Amino acid sequence: MIGPDIAGIAEKLGVAADTATAIPQLAAETGLDVDTAYAVQTALLERRLDRGERLVGLKMGLTSKAKMAQVGVDEVIWGRLTDVMRVPDGGNVDVAAFIHPRVEPEVAFLLDRLPEPGEPVGAFTDAVRAVAPAIELIDSRYANFTFSLPDVIADNTSAAAFVVGPWSPVPEGLDNLGVLLEIDGRVAQVGSTAAILGDPRRALDEGLRLAGRHGVRLREGWLFLAGAATAAVPLRPGAHVRAVVEKLGTATLRASS
């Protein structure tokens, strides 16, 4: 049997992102499963690297119940972050560059020394140099922001842009910090870092395990987004977005109108 056309599917998803044009879901029709969907994601990454982008880290997705419920997929997933997706803290994005952008509050890790494949993570503070509040801008390339598990994996887990706030040393406890998402000074979502797999430190274990299954090793100096603590909120033109994480501070993003 001939398998799915990995390169052709990656090209469709890449063009959808480049032109901010939604496409129909394609996993069912093309027979993508989780493994072939990660192969599409890798081909999409290579398409970005071929045009000069740099891989700067990984992101986790669907590490909280709020997120799983919002999109109707209940498996933890991971995707790739490149330098071009990074927006400076306080910077602007043009909403017209996206299909139906949403923002969500995240916690970012700056990775330090990581275990060899198969070894336990050991002390979190050996593996993570610093932590920061972050905002992820997600933009599913599928119509109506609706997808199956292999669809969203193939689409690089809806990754589109991200902002990392100021770095702090890893605090004593990371497992129960209040999280707010504010839009134009109003609280849009409230949560806690406990929503991220019970403790966002677990997101790193999952990242190592799940990416390792596909032969991807996390690297010193990479960024790592642990996954949103709350549901995501549509990003409207002109909006001023703040993610506030207790003890860590604030990351800010503006949407130009």
Sites of contact with ligand OOG (CB under 6 A): 59, 61-63, 67, 71, 104, 136, 138, 140, 152, 157-158, 227-228
- Out of 149, 177, 228, 235, point to the residue binding Mg ion (CB under 5 A): 228
Give min distance, CB of 196 to ligand OOG, in A: 9
Locate 64 and state its tokens.
């909280």
Comparison of 89 and 136: residue with beta carbon closer to Mg ion:
136
Transcribe 31-52 into DSSP letters.
T--HHHHHHHHHHHHHHHHHTT
Residue of minimal Cβ distance to ligand OOG: 61
End-to-end alpha carbon distance in the chain: 49
CA nearest neighbour of 128 among 77, 79, 199, 215:
199
Q: Which does 39 bind (CB under 5 to 8 A by kind): Mg ion, ligand OOG, none?
A: none
Closer to ligand OOG by CB, 113 or 236: give it: 236
Which one of Mg ion, ligand OOG, none is in contact with 62 (Cβ closer than 5 to 8 A by kind)?
A: ligand OOG
For tokens 């987004």, name the residue: 225
Question: Hey, what are 252's tokens?
Answer: 């800010």
Residue 133 contacts which entry, Mg ion, ligand OOG, none (Cβ below 5-8 A, type-dependent): none
In the range 139-198, which residues lie near Mg ion by CB under 5 A?
none
Q: Which does 207 bind (CB under 5 to 8 A by kind): Mg ion, ligand OOG, none?
A: none
d(CA 57, CA 236): 27
Instruction: Output the CA torsion sign for 70, 71, 75, 78.
Output: negative
Judged by CB, which is closer to Mg ion: 108, or 114? 108
Q: Please tell me the distance from the alpha carbon of residue 96 to that of residue 102, in angstroms, as a whole number.
A: 13
Residue 138, burial from CB neighbour count under 10 angstroms (0-12, 13-18, 19+):
buried
Instruction: Name the minimum Å distance from CB 79 to ligand OOG.
Output: 7
Q: Which residue has the tokens 């887990």?
A: 157
152 contact, one of Mg ion, ligand OOG, none, CB 5-8 Å limit per kind: ligand OOG
104-143 residues in contact with Mg ion (CB under 5 A) are: 136
Q: Which is nearer to Mg ion, 6 or 226 (CB)?
A: 226
